[in-house]
Chains A and B, each alone.
Chain A
Amino acid sequence: GENVGLHLPTLSVQEGDNSIINCAYSNSASDYFIWYKQESGKGPQFIIDIRSNMDKRQGQRVTVLLNKTVKHLSLQIAATQPGDSAVYFCAETPNTGGFKTIFGAGTRLFVKA
Protein backbone atom coordinates (compact mmCIF):
# COMPACT_ATOMS: atom_id res chain seq x y z
CA GLY A 1 0.00 0.00 0.00
CA GLU A 2 0.94 3.62 0.10
CA ASN A 3 3.74 4.16 2.55
CA VAL A 4 6.17 6.85 3.43
CA GLY A 5 8.95 6.02 5.80
CA LEU A 6 12.31 7.13 7.05
CA HIS A 7 15.53 5.16 7.11
CA LEU A 8 16.88 6.67 10.33
CA PRO A 9 14.66 7.47 13.29
CA THR A 10 17.37 9.58 14.99
CA LEU A 11 20.34 11.51 13.71
CA SER A 12 23.00 13.22 15.79
CA VAL A 13 25.36 15.72 14.17
CA GLN A 14 27.96 18.19 15.29
CA GLU A 15 27.16 21.86 15.02
CA GLY A 16 28.49 23.18 11.73
CA ASP A 17 28.37 19.83 9.95
CA ASN A 18 25.95 19.02 7.18
CA SER A 19 22.93 16.83 7.91
CA ILE A 20 21.20 14.45 5.57
CA ILE A 21 17.80 13.04 6.39
CA ASN A 22 16.40 10.35 4.12
CA CYS A 23 12.92 9.23 3.24
CA ALA A 24 11.53 6.43 1.11
CA TYR A 25 8.14 6.47 -0.53
CA SER A 26 6.27 3.76 -2.31
CA ASN A 27 3.58 5.49 -4.35
CA SER A 28 4.88 6.17 -7.82
CA ALA A 29 1.82 8.37 -8.42
CA SER A 30 3.03 10.88 -5.86
CA ASP A 31 3.43 14.26 -7.45
CA TYR A 32 4.41 16.58 -4.66
CA PHE A 33 6.73 16.18 -1.72
CA ILE A 34 7.29 18.32 1.32
CA TRP A 35 9.66 18.36 4.24
CA TYR A 36 8.31 19.60 7.54
CA LYS A 37 10.14 20.49 10.72
CA GLN A 38 8.49 19.97 14.08
CA GLU A 39 10.03 21.52 17.14
CA SER A 40 9.04 20.42 20.60
CA GLY A 41 5.61 21.70 21.54
CA LYS A 42 4.88 23.09 18.10
CA GLY A 43 3.11 22.01 14.99
CA PRO A 44 4.93 20.90 11.86
CA GLN A 45 6.38 23.76 9.88
CA PHE A 46 6.84 23.74 6.11
CA ILE A 47 10.51 23.78 5.14
CA ILE A 48 10.78 23.03 1.46
CA ASP A 49 8.86 21.27 -1.25
CA ILE A 50 9.56 19.68 -4.59
CA ARG A 51 7.43 18.46 -7.44
CA SER A 52 7.94 15.24 -9.28
CA ASN A 53 9.16 17.03 -12.41
CA MET A 54 12.24 18.20 -10.51
CA ASP A 55 15.10 16.31 -8.93
CA LYS A 56 16.61 19.06 -6.81
CA ARG A 57 15.46 22.21 -5.13
CA GLN A 58 17.40 24.54 -2.90
CA GLY A 59 16.32 26.86 -0.16
CA GLN A 60 18.18 28.74 2.48
CA ARG A 61 20.65 26.19 3.91
CA VAL A 62 18.35 23.36 2.85
CA THR A 63 18.27 21.24 -0.27
CA VAL A 64 15.76 18.57 -1.20
CA LEU A 65 16.73 15.83 -3.60
CA LEU A 66 14.22 13.57 -5.30
CA ASN A 67 15.16 10.32 -6.96
CA LYS A 68 12.05 8.97 -8.61
CA THR A 69 13.81 5.91 -9.92
CA VAL A 70 14.30 4.53 -6.44
CA LYS A 71 11.50 6.55 -4.83
CA HIS A 72 13.80 8.32 -2.47
CA LEU A 73 13.69 11.79 -0.98
CA SER A 74 16.35 13.47 1.07
CA LEU A 75 16.75 16.69 2.99
CA GLN A 76 20.17 18.21 3.29
CA ILE A 77 20.83 20.88 5.89
CA ALA A 78 24.04 22.80 5.49
CA ALA A 79 26.05 24.04 8.47
CA THR A 80 23.62 22.54 10.96
CA GLN A 81 22.83 24.77 13.90
CA PRO A 82 21.40 24.01 17.36
CA GLY A 83 18.14 25.59 16.23
CA ASP A 84 17.82 22.86 13.64
CA SER A 85 17.23 20.30 16.36
CA ALA A 86 13.75 18.98 15.74
CA VAL A 87 11.81 16.13 14.19
CA TYR A 88 11.72 16.21 10.42
CA PHE A 89 8.87 14.66 8.44
CA CYS A 90 8.69 13.94 4.80
CA ALA A 91 5.29 13.94 3.17
CA GLU A 92 4.05 12.82 -0.20
CA THR A 93 0.92 13.88 -1.98
CA PRO A 94 -0.47 11.85 -4.84
CA ASN A 95 -1.71 13.72 -7.85
CA THR A 96 -5.25 12.79 -6.86
CA GLY A 97 -5.57 15.28 -4.09
CA GLY A 98 -4.02 17.07 -1.17
CA PHE A 99 -6.07 15.25 1.43
CA LYS A 100 -4.21 12.08 0.59
CA THR A 101 -0.96 13.51 1.84
CA ILE A 102 0.88 10.86 3.79
CA PHE A 103 3.45 11.74 6.41
CA GLY A 104 6.43 9.67 7.38
CA ALA A 105 7.06 8.77 11.00
CA GLY A 106 9.77 11.39 11.38
CA THR A 107 13.49 11.59 12.09
CA ARG A 108 14.73 13.30 15.21
CA LEU A 109 17.77 15.46 14.57
CA PHE A 110 20.07 16.27 17.50
CA VAL A 111 22.68 18.96 17.01
CA LYS A 112 25.61 18.79 19.37
CA ALA A 113 27.28 22.08 20.25
Chain B
Amino acid sequence: DSGVTQTPKHLITATGQRVTLRCSPRSGDLSVYWYQQSLDQGLQFLIQYYNGEERAKGNILERFSAQQFPDLHSELNLSSLELGDSALYFCASSVDFGLANYGYTFGSGTRLTVV
Protein backbone atom coordinates (compact mmCIF):
# COMPACT_ATOMS: atom_id res chain seq x y z
CA ASP B 1 0.00 0.00 0.00
CA SER B 2 1.59 3.24 -1.19
CA GLY B 3 -0.61 5.47 0.92
CA VAL B 4 -2.31 6.98 -2.12
CA THR B 5 -5.84 5.64 -2.50
CA GLN B 6 -7.71 5.65 -5.76
CA THR B 7 -11.29 4.60 -6.33
CA PRO B 8 -12.78 2.90 -8.13
CA LYS B 9 -10.19 0.41 -9.37
CA HIS B 10 -12.19 -0.44 -12.45
CA LEU B 11 -14.85 1.47 -14.31
CA ILE B 12 -16.78 0.49 -17.41
CA THR B 13 -19.05 3.04 -18.98
CA ALA B 14 -20.62 3.96 -22.28
CA THR B 15 -19.61 6.66 -24.70
CA GLY B 16 -21.05 10.04 -23.92
CA GLN B 17 -21.23 9.37 -20.22
CA ARG B 18 -19.53 11.17 -17.35
CA VAL B 19 -17.45 9.60 -14.58
CA THR B 20 -15.63 10.79 -11.50
CA LEU B 21 -12.37 9.31 -10.31
CA ARG B 22 -11.31 9.88 -6.74
CA CYS B 23 -7.90 10.14 -5.12
CA SER B 24 -6.79 10.49 -1.53
CA PRO B 25 -3.15 11.55 -1.28
CA ARG B 26 -0.60 10.15 1.10
CA SER B 27 -0.84 11.66 4.54
CA GLY B 28 1.12 14.91 4.66
CA ASP B 29 1.32 15.38 0.90
CA LEU B 30 -0.18 18.61 -0.37
CA SER B 31 0.27 18.10 -4.10
CA VAL B 32 -1.88 15.82 -6.19
CA TYR B 33 -1.09 14.98 -9.79
CA TRP B 34 -3.27 13.20 -12.31
CA TYR B 35 -1.78 11.13 -15.10
CA GLN B 36 -3.25 9.19 -18.00
CA GLN B 37 -1.60 6.02 -19.22
CA SER B 38 -2.90 4.55 -22.44
CA LEU B 39 -1.96 1.13 -23.77
CA ASP B 40 1.78 0.97 -24.43
CA GLN B 41 2.09 4.66 -23.74
CA GLY B 42 3.99 6.52 -21.12
CA LEU B 43 2.47 8.56 -18.37
CA GLN B 44 0.88 11.73 -19.68
CA PHE B 45 0.56 14.55 -17.19
CA LEU B 46 -2.95 15.96 -16.96
CA ILE B 47 -3.14 18.36 -14.05
CA GLN B 48 -1.70 19.23 -10.66
CA TYR B 49 -3.26 20.66 -7.54
CA TYR B 50 -1.44 22.01 -4.53
CA ASN B 51 -3.29 22.60 -1.28
CA GLY B 52 -6.59 23.07 -3.04
CA GLU B 53 -5.41 25.23 -5.90
CA GLU B 54 -4.72 24.32 -9.50
CA ARG B 55 -0.99 24.71 -10.13
CA ALA B 56 -0.28 23.26 -13.50
CA LYS B 57 -2.03 21.85 -16.51
CA GLY B 58 -0.69 19.38 -18.98
CA ASN B 59 -2.42 17.76 -21.91
CA ILE B 60 -5.83 17.73 -20.31
CA LEU B 61 -8.85 17.83 -22.58
CA GLU B 62 -11.54 20.44 -22.06
CA ARG B 63 -13.96 17.57 -21.39
CA PHE B 64 -11.89 16.73 -18.32
CA SER B 65 -11.74 18.71 -15.13
CA ALA B 66 -10.46 18.21 -11.63
CA GLN B 67 -10.53 19.73 -8.20
CA GLN B 68 -8.89 19.30 -4.84
CA PHE B 69 -10.99 19.61 -1.75
CA PRO B 70 -10.12 21.10 1.67
CA ASP B 71 -9.34 17.64 3.01
CA LEU B 72 -6.87 17.37 0.10
CA HIS B 73 -8.57 14.55 -1.71
CA SER B 74 -8.99 15.15 -5.41
CA GLU B 75 -11.49 14.20 -8.04
CA LEU B 76 -10.98 13.92 -11.78
CA ASN B 77 -14.15 14.37 -13.81
CA LEU B 78 -14.30 12.96 -17.31
CA SER B 79 -17.31 13.88 -19.42
CA SER B 80 -18.66 13.16 -22.91
CA LEU B 81 -16.52 10.06 -22.83
CA GLU B 82 -15.09 8.67 -26.03
CA LEU B 83 -13.62 5.27 -26.80
CA GLY B 84 -10.19 6.85 -26.87
CA ASP B 85 -10.50 7.88 -23.26
CA SER B 86 -10.10 4.26 -22.21
CA ALA B 87 -6.92 4.19 -20.18
CA LEU B 88 -5.39 3.86 -16.77
CA TYR B 89 -5.69 7.01 -14.74
CA PHE B 90 -3.16 7.45 -11.98
CA CYS B 91 -3.09 9.84 -9.14
CA ALA B 92 0.21 10.69 -7.49
CA SER B 93 1.03 12.85 -4.52
CA SER B 94 4.10 14.60 -3.25
CA VAL B 95 5.07 16.83 -0.38
CA ASP B 96 6.45 19.75 -2.32
CA PHE B 97 4.90 21.97 -4.91
CA GLY B 98 8.25 22.70 -6.47
CA LEU B 99 10.88 20.13 -7.16
CA ALA B 100 9.58 16.78 -6.09
CA ASN B 101 12.55 15.96 -3.90
CA TYR B 102 11.46 12.47 -3.21
CA GLY B 103 9.50 11.79 -6.33
CA TYR B 104 5.88 10.95 -6.50
CA THR B 105 3.91 8.33 -4.66
CA PHE B 106 1.46 6.76 -7.04
CA GLY B 107 -1.85 5.14 -6.38
CA SER B 108 -2.82 1.85 -8.00
CA GLY B 109 -4.83 3.60 -10.66
CA THR B 110 -8.33 3.45 -12.05
CA ARG B 111 -8.79 1.44 -15.21
CA LEU B 112 -11.44 3.15 -17.32
CA THR B 113 -13.03 1.27 -20.17
CA VAL B 114 -15.37 3.16 -22.46
CA VAL B 115 -17.61 0.94 -24.57
Mark B residues whose CB is within 8 Å of A.
2, 4, 31, 33, 35, 40-43, 45, 48, 55-56, 58, 90, 92, 94, 96-109
Contacts and interface: CB of A to CB of B under 8 A. Distances in A.
Contacts, number: 70
A71 B107 CA distance: 30
B94 to A, nearest CB: 6
A85 to B, nearest CB: 17
Given A98-B31, A99-B48, A105-B41, A43 B106 contact: yes
Contacts of A97: 56, 97-99
Contact of B104 (A101, A102, A104): A101
Interface residues of A, number: 25
B99 A93 contact: yes
Interface string A22-54: 000000000110101000011111100100000
A1 B94 CA distance: 26
A89 interface: yes
- Please name the 7 residue pairs, one residue from A and one from B, whose CB atoms are nearest each other, closest first: A43-B106, A98-B100, A99-B56, A103-B43, A105-B42, A99-B48, A46-B103
Contacts of B104: 44, 46, 98, 101
Contacts of B4: 43
Interface of A: 31-32, 34, 36, 41-46, 49, 89, 91, 93, 95, 97-106
A98 B94 contact: yes
A32 B101 CA distance: 8
B106 A31 contact: no
